[in-house]
Amino acid sequence: MRKYDTVRSDLTEKIEAYIQEHQLKAHDKLPSERELSEIWDVNRMTLRSATRRLVDEGILYSVPGSGTYVAAKKINRNLWQFLSFSEAMKEAGLDARTNVISCRQIEANKKLAQTFSILLGTPVIELKRIRIVEEEPFSLETIYIPSRFCPGLEKHDLEKQSLYAVLRNVYGIELTRSRQEISLTYLTEEEAAFLGVAEGEAAVCTKVVTATEEKLPVEYTIEIARGDRCQFSTILR
């Protein structure tokens, strides 16, 4: 068993080294099992196990009847940094843009009333948008902000302007703290259509309440991010 694990570990490293040496990019296809088995003089069963391990780690993905491909690099979200999505992507050196689906005023339901400590039916802005990273849909966001904080927000171009920058520069609201809840979910038909993947695929659901320094809740966001594209990290002290 130990020998098998060592061989498999060596093979995973060889596959990763092959990807780097040949400068394979996301969605580039690897050589066939037969070719790789001959290159490294290993049996296909052992190679298949190494490939499966890299698929589980999100480094590769398989297409039945087609072959094995390099997966898109996962996007790291630092939970210990208070950055907007745009700022985080810029810091990571990734090209990101936003598509606004809708921006409208609704009446606060029970959940929103509790979140913002407002009355049921109070006007709230609902903003829905898709975050696109490196030309691939990454996440679907639904954002809620009490209308009294930002009257006329829907008139701003929130595809080109940062929401946080508009809140800060136009409405004088500085968001400095947040509370986050992260859970695993599975994409509905509508969510999958927006993100360009299959219904039922795993996703990460992040619910965030963002507040001012005075602990006044201003924004409530529900983000559904593709499970194959994101990972989270933090620092514990």
Q: What is the pLDDT of residues 121-133, one digit of tens each?
A: 999 999 999 999 8
Position with higher pLDDT, 57 vs 5: 57
Considering only CA atoms, give the Rg of the chain: 22
What sign for the dihedral angle of Cα 174, 180, 184, 186? Answer: negative
Where do the DSSP E strands lie in the chain? 60-63, 67-70, 75-78, 96-107, 123-133, 136-146, 177-186, 202-211, 217-226, 230-233
Q: State residue 10's pLDDT score.
A: 83
Domain 75-233: top CATH class: alpha beta
Select 2-70's CATH number: 3.90.1150.10, 3.30.360.10, 1.10.10.10, 1.20.1440.120.
1.10.10.10
Residue 196 confidence (pLDDT) above 80: yes
Q: What is the DSSP code (8-state) at residue 29?
A: B
What sign for the dihedral angle of Cα 46, 47, 52, 57? Answer: positive
Average pLDDT of the chain, as a whole number: 88
Q: Are 127 and 142 in contact (CB under 8 A)?
A: yes
> Per-domain residue ranges for the chain?
2-70, 75-233
Q: What is the pLDDT of residues 48-90, one digit of tens each?
A: 999 988 887 778 888 888 999 988 777 777 666 666 777 777 7
* pLDDT confidence bin for 92, thresholds 50/70/90: confident
Q: What is the reported pTM?
A: 0.76
* Least confident range of 13-17, 206-210, 232-236: 232-236
The packing angle between helices 33-40 and 44-56, to 10°, is: 110
Q: What is the pLDDT of residues 179-192, one digit of tens each?
A: 999 999 999 999 99
Q: State residue 1's pLDDT score.
A: 40
User: What is d(CA 114, CA 65) in angstroms, rounded to the nearest whole number?
Assistant: 51
